[in-house]
Amino acid sequence: MAIKEIKSKINDNKQEKERKLLNTALHLFSEKGIKKLLFKILLKMQVLLKELHFIYFQKKELKNFYSRYC
In this prediction, residues 38-64 reach a mean pLDDT of 82
CA distances from 18 to 14, 15, 23, 25 (A): 6, 5, 9, 11
d(CA 44, CA 41): 5
Identify the band that residue 10 occupies on the pLDDT scale cut at 50, 70 and 90: confident
The pLDDT mean for the chain works out to: 80
**Radius of gyration of the chain from Cα atoms?**
22
DSSP state of 2: -
**Residue-level pLDDT at 70:** 63
DSSP state of 1: -
Identify the band that residue 30 occupies on the pLDDT scale cut at 50, 70 and 90: confident
Q: Where are the alpha helices (DSSP H) in the chain?
A: 3-32, 34-69
Identify the band that residue 1 occupies on the pLDDT scale cut at 50, 70 and 90: low
